[in-house]
Chain A
């Protein structure tokens, strides 16, 4: 393959990862933005989404699209419920103290990880692609499913943006984010809001996992890398900024994809980390963050 087409191929691969990464980072950013807590267990909800996708779709024999659709519906809901349960059981009692919740979510990380290992075992689990079509792009063939991943991520990102910007529930979230005490004084039940946001953050990451798992396989240790990348994205994009999160996810996801294809995945991670250092030095609030966040 010539360099041009090869670069296009690498960019498309990068875009698929960027799409899923922006979902994971969006969940992390939403939770931090509204609740002011750093959810170290976020990657485990992603992992749960992937493993549950395998588990759910394994019940549906015959057409793999059916199992996939069922997984797309059920896995995020279960991941969200588990997140809400851990919020109710643990975070709430820490009064969402910024430091205590970091330690607590590290604990949640290990509990979920070990529970997944004990329940589903150590093997990597494949999920069949819901449809197996290759699009001929003249120089190379590219899986139509990967285009679907990009498309579905964009739809979900747009819906989250719509909910935040245009609905009453979004208004409650933004008010809670700006001043939770005053929000309560006007009748906003912030503990319910927190629980829903924590659940939604996990569910969005789980959707990303269900989308990627037909390409990548599910494994109980798969939560670590996306957590790291999501942190990088959120730092570069500016905490709590939706626009910044998407822009940074595309930047990191694409360059990760391209550099991995041309050079090595390790170099890609090194460069991403260097970029974080650079951004923190130049613009400590992220490329799109405001000083107040």
Chain B
């Protein structure tokens, strides 16, 4: 469903990503690991068309989406949860969801489904999103992306700064989406947080892929993966 071929990205002419290639199938979770500054966020941003300049090819559902305007990408069915959540912090919870629904016609239904998944948000529709707790903000960031009804979901460190109960809630949501057939590209720092839900693992270093593996292989033998992550 997602095919990335030789993706190279630049920020003001500095090469950040170098010839990344990978595939992601429906209902699978691909986990992107790497140290700080390795280029994980840049990879997701490149997929969303938010990087100054990219080369290579990104094909989504048989359609080339590299090079098209960034605002056209969500309507293809790609939902994005940015690192640090990036809520529209002065807007209410409901307004944030409205923005998520911009590309969709039957908005009320979708909103209802999403709020059923996160009942805490339903109680707080009129609250300014910047005043939500960290966990609630992360829920909203996920809920906002789900309003797109994505068939591909890009998650950038969704468990960053959350307590264990919140992390397990996020994990549960990811598993649920996976069951529904959503393809998920997940960026994580903590390996142990993702091993159980990932299908495939990809390690980036200095903008290049240095290691790929099936998750079940890694479960059997951590050593090699850990050596790449330097933990």
Contacts and interface: CB of A to CB of B under 8 A. Distances in A.
Interface residues of A, number: 18
A175 B80 contact: no
A161 to B, nearest CB: 16
A168 B70 CA distance: 20
A183 interface: yes
B88 A178 contact: yes
User: Interface SS of chain B: helix, strand, loop or mixed?
Assistant: loop
A263 interface: no
B71 to A, nearest CB: 4
A185 B74 contact: yes
A60 B49 CA distance: 51
Contacts of A178: 88-91
B82 to A, nearest CB: 6
Contacts, number: 61
A158 interface: no
A189 B73 CA distance: 11
B86 A187 contact: no
Given A175-B91, A178-B89, A187 B103 contact: yes
Nearest to A190: B71
Interface in B66-109: 69-75, 80, 82, 86, 88-91, 95, 98-100, 102-103
Contact of B88 (A179, A189, A292): A179
B169 interface: no
Nearest to B48: A185
A185 B100 contact: no
A292 B90 CA distance: 10
Contacts of B48: 184-185
Contact of B70 (A171, A179, A184): A184
25 contacts: A171-B98, A178-B88, A178-B90, A178-B91, A179-B86, A182-B86, A182-B88, A184-B48, A184-B71, A185-B48, A185-B70, A185-B73, A185-B74, A185-B80, A185-B82, A186-B74, A186-B100, A186-B103, A186-B144, A187-B102, A188-B71, A188-B99, A189-B69, A189-B71, A292-B90
